[in-house]
Amino acid sequence: MTSSDLPDMANEDEVREVFSDRRWTIMGALLGTSTAILLVHSLEPDKAPSLQRDIGLGIIASTLPFMVVYCALHLYARENAERMLMSELHRLSNLSVVCQLIAYGSMIGILTLWYGISDVVGPLIIAASAVAFLTVRYVLYTSTSTGHPSRMFGHQNSSQ
């Protein structure tokens, strides 16, 4: 059997790069937050129903299965890292990206719920969210265009 006959196996570092602990932590926090919001709102049966509340809760509820699927993919990939084919890793990676994007949509549901808190809180949340998004985009853009991101925060390499 030649080396060209062997299947293209992924190594553990490649699997850890796609399914990192940081992504796992973010998704776990999002899953916990969304579950808590749905639980709290389900315990308020006497609250007058509103379309805004129903839309917000509906968005959050519809993203939960994608959070769970991401967590299952993550666990599967990490437990099977040493015997995973590269083609399988690519498929799982693509599926995890779709799950993450849909799961992040739950934040729209959360913002929808918070927007209805008051006439002041709602617009301030939207404005602060826009500023936060633009700030993150700016920092990511400038850190990739100027080189190493640690220089942006004043950190020096010990080799300099």
Question: What residues pair up with 85 in beta bridges, in sequence order?
Answer: 9
Domain ranges across the chain: 1-109, 117-160
pLDDT digits (tens, 9 = 90+) for 20-62: 888 889 899 999 999 999 999 888 766 777 888 889 999 999 9
DSSP the chain: --TTTS--BPPHHHHHHHS-HHHHHHHHHHHHHHHHHHHHHHT-TTSPP-HHHHHHHHHHHHHHHHHHHHHHHHHHHHHTGGG-BHHHHHHHHHHHHHHHHHHHTHHHHHHHHHHTS-TTHHHHHHHHHHHHHHHHHHHHHHHHHSS-HHHHTT---TT-
Cβ burial, residue 57 (10 Å; 0-12/13-18/19+): buried
Q: Is the pTM of this model over 0.85?
A: no
Residue 67, pLDDT score: 95
Residue 31, pLDDT score: 95
What is the mean pLDDT for each group of 10 consecutive residues in the chain (160 residues)? 64 87 90 93 76 91 96 92 90 93 92 84 87 88 63 45
Q: What is the pLDDT of residue 10?
A: 85
